[in-house]
């Protein structure tokens, strides 16, 4: 292979890390405040809800499907929990349980539509994304609802130098990663992502597995919504808006393929979320136009998806298999 070819292959496989390092270096050099340790802690804190939601989404993507309703699920679940506390005076733990159940239930609804009704997951979650947001808006009447006093303080809970929710999020991502790599469930999901027909031929209960993946995605989206609400201290109609896209971006940029079946969840989610948080935080410190973030992150996502598609084509060409849509 020519040296150019070798460079290209290296970039394709590890380009992400290179870019991450470059971005970090860029902001470290060009701002004063970026490198302060407090800032790094803050970044991890801000990343926590996104990491949690991305972990759940990663399971669904690993099985070769997609769930773009996670932002709306986060919103509904967090609304349910919050309203139970503020309107009905529920104790926080019960409200938390309700929020998680709500998320799981909505995930189950997604799973039902995909597996039982056989509707394409893209359309399903596009529809539920809008429908669920409607539900949430109806519940909260699009008003901001502040968390009760005692609960609101939880948002600042820290363990040592780190924020509590950072540790929770990391623990969750670790748990999901272990689920993916070391349990039969995780291995079978990966198998489905490799080839649903092959998985069926081997005898795996594909429908059941996909359903459970959606339930987990919903439950973890709920957790993410809860964490986000705790950080802000209130529920607002904008919670989770666009979050689904950020979660997809995190996963793709981090290396989990949208075609399914490959990637490491722990490194993808953490590094992917870090990438976007770096950009956001760095642009902030640079005093840049706040809207630049969307543009820059959009460009990063596009590049990552292109790399994903390119890698997929290279793989398929090596085997001689047709592209999706060609056969």
- Establish if 306 lies at the interface with other proteins (CB under 8 A): yes
- Considering the rule CB under 8 A, would residue 89 count as an interface residue with other proteins? no
Q: Report if residue 11 touches other proteins, rule: CB under 8 A.
A: no
Stretch that binds other proteins, among 39-47, 145-153, 165-173, 181-189 (CB under 8 A): 181-189
Residues 74 and 230 sit within 8 Å (Cβ to Cβ) = no
The verdict on 289 binding other proteins (CB under 8 A) reads yes
Nearer to other proteins, 87 or 182 (CB): 182
Restricting to residues 115-134, which ones interact with other proteins according to CB under 8 A? 117-120, 122-124, 126-134
End-to-end C-alpha distance for the chain, whole angstroms: 30
Q: Of 68 and 96, which CB lies nearer to other proteins in the complex structure?
A: 68
- Tokens 């359309």 belong to which residue? 123
Closest approach, Cβ 268 to other proteins, in A, equals 14
Choice from 77, 189, 206, 301 touching other proteins (CB under 8 A): 301
Q: Does 66 bind other proteins (CB under 8 A)?
A: yes
Asked if residue 1 binds other proteins (CB under 8 A), the reply is no
Q: Which of residues 214-273 bind other proteins (CB under 8 A)?
A: 242, 245, 248, 258-259, 261-262
Nearer to other proteins, 44 or 221 (CB): 221
**DSSP structural state of residue 234:** E
> How crowded is the C-beta side of 308, counted as CA atoms within 13 Å?
22
Q: For residues 313 and 323, what is the distance between their CA atoms, to the nearest angstrom?
A: 7
Instruction: Please choose, from the candidates 244, 255, 258, 249, the residue with its C-alpha nearest in 3D space to the C-alpha of residue 279.
Output: 249
- Tokens describing residue 11: 């970039």
Footprint (CB under 8 A) of other proteins, residues 13-42 = none
Asked if 9 touches other proteins (CB under 8 A), the answer is: no
The CA distances from residue 6 to 1, 155, 201, 310, 314, in Å, are 6, 48, 37, 15, 14
Minimum CB–partner distance for residue 80 and other proteins (Å) = 15
When asked if residue 152 is in the footprint of other proteins (CB under 8 A), the reply is: no
Chain centre distance of CA 104: 16
b/e code 196-218 from CB counts within 10 Å (16+ = b): beebeeeebebeebbbbbbbbbb
């Amino acid at each position: 292979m020519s040296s150019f070819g070798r460079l290209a292959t290296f970039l394709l496989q590890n380009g992400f890390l290179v870019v991450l390092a470059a971005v970090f270096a860029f902001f470290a050099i060009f701002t004063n405040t970026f490198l302060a340790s407090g800032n790094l802690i803050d970044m991890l804190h801000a990343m926590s809800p996104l990491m949690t939601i991305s972990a759940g989404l990663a399971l669904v993507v690993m099985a070769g499907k997609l769930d773009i309703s996670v932002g709306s699920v986060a919103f509904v679940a967090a609304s349910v929990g919050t309203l139970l506390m503020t309107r009905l005076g529920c104790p926080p733990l019960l409200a938390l349980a309700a929020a998680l159940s709500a998320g799981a239930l909505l995930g189950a609804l997604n799973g039902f539509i995909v597996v039982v009704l056989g509707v394409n997951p893209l359309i399903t979650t596009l529809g539920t994304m809008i429908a669920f947001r409607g539900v949430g808006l109806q519940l909260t009447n699009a008003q901001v609802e502040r968390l009760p006093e005692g609960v609101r303080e939880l948002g600042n809970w820290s363990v040592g130098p780190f924020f509590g929710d950072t540790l929770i999020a990391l623990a969750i991502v670790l748990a999901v990663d272990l689920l993916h790599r070391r349990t039969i469930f995780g291995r079978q999901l990966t198998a489905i992502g490799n080839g649903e027909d092959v998985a069926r031929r081997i005898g795996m209960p594909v429908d059941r597995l996909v359903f459970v993946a959606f339930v987990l995605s919903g439950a973890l989206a709920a957790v993410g919504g809860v964490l986000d609400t705790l950080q802000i201290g209130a529920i607002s109609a904008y919670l989770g808006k666009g979050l689904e896209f950020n979660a997809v971006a995190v996963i793709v940029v981090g290396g989990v393929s949208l075609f399914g079946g490959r990637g490491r969840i722990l490194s993808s989610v953490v590094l992917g979320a870090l990438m976007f948080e770096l950009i956001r935080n760095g642009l902030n410190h640079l005093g840049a136009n706040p809207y630049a973030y969307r543009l820059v992150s959009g460009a990063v996502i596009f590049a990552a998806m292109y790399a994903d598609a390119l890698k997929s084509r290279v793989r398929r060409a090596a085997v001689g298999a047709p592209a999706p849509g060609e056969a």
